[in-house]
Structure 1
Amino acid sequence: MSGNIELTDQAKKACADAMFKALSDTFVLYLKTHNFHWNVVGPQFVSLHKLFEDQYQDLWNTLDEMAERIRALGQPVDGTTASFKNAAEIKETDARPAAKDMLKELVADNETAVRTIRAAFSTVDEAGDEASADLLTDRLSYHEKQIWMMKSLLEA
């Protein structure tokens, strides 16, 4: 039971659904980044191995915050891999791309996460859900910084 947080049941459901999309993208991005961390090779191995580790650890910690926000909105979280994959815009890869291609994929995936977060932000902002908006704002800043950092590596 979620108590009175001054949002209608319809608004809480809409916000939770928007947050679930962001959670799903985060989950798939976490898996992909961790996979790339394990499989990166080449001259940039050390720096990319560490970068990917920092990224997947941040993504992992964020999953719990996002899921708990959905629960605070009074909605269950369907935490199955299948539900995340179905809701996510970010897609897994079966390939083991070269390091530069890993970076390119992760740039594109973080850009997808930004689009998902912006759409979710629009929903929670319209509902007046400041707590979800705050979480999404933090995530937006994070992904934009990661995009900048990875694009900088690609310019080298």
Structure 2
Amino acid sequence: MGARQQIRQQSDTVEENPLRLDQDKAEQIIDALNTDLANAYVLYHQLHKHHWNVEGAEHLGIHEFLEEAYEDVEHAADEVAERVQALGGVPHASMTALSNAATVESEDEDVYDIRTSFENDIEMYGSIIESYREHIELAESLGDHATGEMLRQQLVELEEHVHVMDHYLKDDTLVEHS
């Protein structure tokens, strides 16, 4: 940064919000949303990796599905970050902050067959879905029904994607090699 830096708001701080949600309640929700944001970026990168590396007879359909899935995750992450800001917080943006806040772990750099990739994705989606359910309950118990509704809508998309992946793993959907 240059000599004329001016910080408008430090990370990990919560300012008053125009939504009239008490600061202590906003802090709890922001913490949960920053976890969701971090998890979204871990999922985004894993889905993108699988999109790049898928091969085989069903390559095109799976390639396109994974692109839709990671784009939906990116869109959801953007909504979550904007909600954090609306609540008076600072959304995590650095790789370090996102990595530290994430509660899910991506697979390593190796390239796996699509079945293994989908199994890994389904595992991560499952953890994120459970976290969303907890965060919906938290937001609503604190009177933030708008955040609960936003997460609920995103939960529907997460569940739809994991459902499609589960269908891909059925015996008659992917070509198997002996």
TM-score range for the pair, normalised by the shorter chain length: over 0.9
- 1:45-56 alignment, distance < 5 Å: 45-56=59-70
Percentage of identical aligned residues: 24
Partner of 2:150: 135
- When the two chains are superposed, the root-mean-square deviation of aligned CA atoms in Å is 1.3
Question: Contact 1:18/1:119 (CA < 8 Å) preserved in 2?
Answer: no
Residue 5 of structure 1: CA displacement? 2.2
Partner of 1:20: 34
Count of matched residue pairs: 156
80, 90, 110: which one aligns with 1:66: 80
Moved over 6 A (4+): none
Deviations 1:95-152 (A, max 9, x none): 2110111111111111111011112112101111111111100111111111111111
Deviations 1:40-83 (A, max 9, x none): 11222111101100011111112211100000000112211122
Q: What 5-or-longer segments of structure 1 have no aligned partner? A: none
Q: Which amino acid aligns with 1:145?
A: E
User: TM-score scaled to structure 2, two decimals?
Assistant: 0.83
Which one has the bigger helix percentage? Answer: 1
Larger Rg: 2
User: Which has the bigger relative contact order, CA under 8 A and spacing at least 6?
Assistant: 1
Partner of 2:10: none
User: TM-score scaled to structure 1, two decimals?
Assistant: 0.94
Q: Which amino acid aligns with 1:25?
A: N
Once residues 84 and 103 of structure 1 are traced to their aligned partners in structure 2, the CA distance between those partners, rounded to angstroms, is 23
Note if 1:91 corresponds to 2:105.
yes
Q: Which amino acid aligns with 1:138?
A: Q
Question: Contact 2:19/2:86 (CA < 8 Å) preserved in 1?
Answer: no
Residue 33 of structure 1: CA displacement? 0.5
Q: What 5-or-longer segments of structure 2 have no aligned partner? A: 1-14, 173-178
